[in-house]
């Protein structure tokens, strides 16, 4: 085994070493509701393009026009030369859409979350859900605040941690809005109440819910009717908006602080022109075509019901992030390969994205899937159940 700077292989690298499944870094030769992989056309049931906008001609045409007008790159960071009229327009539109005084657009959603480090100083304490996205975990690592983690969506645990903390410290509760792997919603009403009671601020990462949830697609905050109750919202343009980029939406003074202090923004190149224009075009569609949201939720309901009746454990999801638990990593890889052989591309999600014993196949429908696509996905799972026998239910979520 070649030396890798003295590092050990990860758990998934070890599992892949003697397993024929190849779920990661698979090159796709075309994209959309169906994709081409190794010369075969399969259903794409494993990407975050929930509304199907990344290949919508209105979005791709807007990107092409911006590419011709502004070039392929901003060639620098937002703070110096990399701010375009397009970025400002997008920030104004996103602030109004998500519901905040101001917005800052970043190059990726990961970068938007890392920007939070500029709000996390020594003496502050962050209270974070154990299932939060890696980028939120890393933001806390980059900052100097204390990091307390509460068990996934366990409000009583959060309450105890808040009660035991120093009321004079800056206290910030951070959560995903829609949990990215397991598809369950954060318990926002309870989180808002706890944050208010303890005088803490609340930050929600709306990466998966902005564009998807709520009658207007404004996200988990709109879904729960809690507009104005969250102190800062982060998000991405790489999922419902079919582009790439991130956002931070909140009070003007907070956004201004981030503009001058967030190192992930200050010292990295700006979101490219084509991506900004694509996101603007997508936002028009997100606002104008609520039927896309209805359609993807109809598909999700069909998948959840169908999978449960086949005996699969889909956990607490009620959303278009449909987890199918296998528990065991090797079984996850096996199921993933069987599904691909049956013509369906999904995501094999294993440690560290989820706890070791909670490996899952993530299935994500898109608004551009037909009813026939969803039938074929369910048929593929039925075939897997016939070949492999019942897949066991997942153990409870107890991340370290
Ligand atoms: N937050 C969550 C909850 C996510 O799922 C993701 C993407 N997987 C991100 C942030 C990062 O977004 P991006 O892909 O735009 O960097």
Determine how β-strand 125-129 pairs with β-strand 171-176. Answer: parallel
List pLDDT tens digits, range 132-148.
Answer: 999 999 999 999 999 99
In this structure, the residue with its CA closest to atom 1 of ligand 1 is: 207
Question: From ligand 1's centre to the CA of 3, what distance in Å?
Answer: 31
pLDDT at 392: 75
Nearest to 351 by CA among 370, 372, 371, 328: 328
Q: What is the edge-to-edge ordering of all strands in the sheet holding 344-345?
A: 34-37, 40-44, 344-345
Question: From ligand 1's centre to the CA of 386, what distance in Å?
Answer: 35
Nearest to 126 by CA among 111, 115, 137: 137
List pLDDT tens digits, range 200-243.
Answer: 999 999 999 999 999 999 999 999 999 999 999 999 999 999 99
Cis peptide before 352 (omega within 30 of 0): yes
Q: pLDDT at residue 385 above 80?
A: yes
Q: pLDDT at residue 398 above 60?
A: no
Question: From ligand 1's centre to the CA of 399, what distance in Å?
Answer: 20
Q: What CATH code is assigned to 57-288?
A: 3.40.640.10
State if pTM tops 0.90. yes
**Ligand 1, closest atom to CA 244?**
15
Question: From ligand 1's centre to the CA of 180, what distance in Å?
Answer: 8
Q: pLDDT at residue 373 above 60?
A: yes
Domain boundaries, given as residue ranges, for the chain:
11-44+290-388, 57-288
- Which pairs from 373-379 meet CB under 8 Å and 24+ separation? 373/33, 373/34, 373/43, 373/45, 374/299, 374/302, 374/303, 374/306, 376/43, 376/343, 376/344, 377/43, 377/45, 377/303, 377/344, 378/302, 378/303, 378/306, 378/307, 378/310, 379/342
User: For this structure, is 208 an active site residue?
Assistant: yes
List pLDDT tens digits, range 19-56.
Answer: 999 999 999 998 999 999 999 999 999 999 999 999 99
From 50, 138, 207, the mutation candidate for ligand 1 (largest count of ligand atoms within 8 A of CB) is 207
pLDDT at 391: 80
> How many other CB atoms sit within 10 Å of the CB of residue 226?
17
Q: Which residues line ligand 1 (CB under 6 A)?
A: 108-110, 113, 133, 135, 176, 180, 205, 207-208, 236, 238, 246
Which range among 14-18, 37-41, 168-172, 241-245 shows the weakest confidence by mean pLDDT?
14-18
Q: pLDDT at residue 302 above 90?
A: yes
Average pLDDT, the chain: 96
In this structure, the residue with its CA closest to atom 13 of ligand 1 is: 109
Question: From ligand 1's centre to the CA of 167, what distance in Å?
Answer: 31
In this structure, the residue with its CA closest to atom 14 of ligand 1 is: 109
Model ipTM?
A: 0.99
Position 400 confidence tier, pLDDT thresholds 50, 70, 90: very low
Position 123 confidence tier, pLDDT thresholds 50, 70, 90: very high
Q: How far is CA 270 from the centre of its chain?
A: 21
Find the catalytic residue in 180, 243, 264, 275. Answer: 180
pLDDT at 399: 43
User: For this structure, is 239 an active site residue?
Assistant: yes
User: For this structure, is 369 an active site residue?
Assistant: no
From 110, 138, 278, 353, the mutation candidate for ligand 1 (largest count of ligand atoms within 8 A of CB) is 110
In this structure, the residue with its CA closest to atom 4 of ligand 1 is: 207
Q: What is the DSSP letter of 77?
A: B
Check: CATH 3.30.460.80 for 11-44+290-388?
Answer: no
| Count of positions (residues) in the chain | 400
């Amino acid at each position: 085994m070649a030396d890798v700077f003295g590092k050990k292989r990860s758990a998934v690298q070890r599992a892949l070493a003697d397993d024929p499944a190849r779920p990661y870094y698979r090159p796709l030769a075309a994209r959309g509701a169906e994709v081409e992989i190794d010369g075969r056309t399969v259903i794409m049931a494993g990407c975050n393009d929930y509304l199907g906008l990344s290949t919508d001609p209105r979005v791709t045409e807007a990107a092409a026009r911006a590419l011709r007008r502004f070039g392929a790159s901003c060639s620098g960071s937002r703070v110096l030369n990399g701010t375009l009229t397009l970025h400002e327009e997008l920030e104004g539109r996103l602030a109004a859409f998500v519901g905040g005084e101001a917005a800052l657009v970043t190059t990726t959603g990961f970068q938007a979350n890392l920007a939070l480090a500029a709000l996390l100083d020594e003496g502050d304490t962050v209270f974070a859900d154990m299932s939060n996205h890696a980028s939120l975990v890393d933001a806390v690592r980059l900052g100097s605040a204390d990091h307390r983690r509460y068990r996934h969506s366990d409000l009583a645990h959060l309450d105890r941690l808040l009660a035991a903390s120093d009321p004079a410290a800056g206290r910030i509760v951070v959560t995903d809005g829609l949990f990215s792997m397991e598809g369950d919603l954060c318990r926002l009403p309870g989180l808002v109440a706890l944050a208010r009671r303890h005088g803490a601020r609340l930050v929600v990462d709306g990466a998966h819910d902005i564009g998807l949830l709520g009658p207007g697609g404004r996200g988990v905050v709109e879904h729960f009717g809690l507009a104005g109750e969250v102190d800062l919202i982060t998000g991405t343009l790489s999922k419902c908006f079919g582009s790439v980029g991130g956002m931070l939406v909140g009070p003007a003074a907070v956004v201004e602080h981030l503009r001058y202090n967030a190192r992930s923004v200050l010292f990295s190149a700006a979101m490219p022109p084509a991506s900004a224009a694509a996101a603007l075009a997508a936002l028009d569609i997100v606002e104008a075509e609520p039927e896309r949201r209805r359609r993807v939720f109809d598909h999700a309901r069909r998948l959840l019901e169908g999978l449960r009746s086949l005996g699969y454990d889909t956990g607490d999801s009620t959303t278009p992030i449909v987890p199918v638990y296998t528990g065991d990593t090797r079984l996850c890889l096996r199921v993933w390969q069987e599904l691909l052989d049956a013509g369906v591309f999904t995501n094999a999600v294993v440690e560290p994205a989820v706890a070791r014993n909670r490996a899952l196949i993530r299935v994500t429908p898109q608004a551009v899937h037909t009813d026939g696509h969803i039938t074929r996905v369910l048929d593929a799972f039925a075939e897997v159940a016939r070949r492999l026998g019942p897949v066991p239910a997942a153990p409870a979520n107890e991340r370290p």
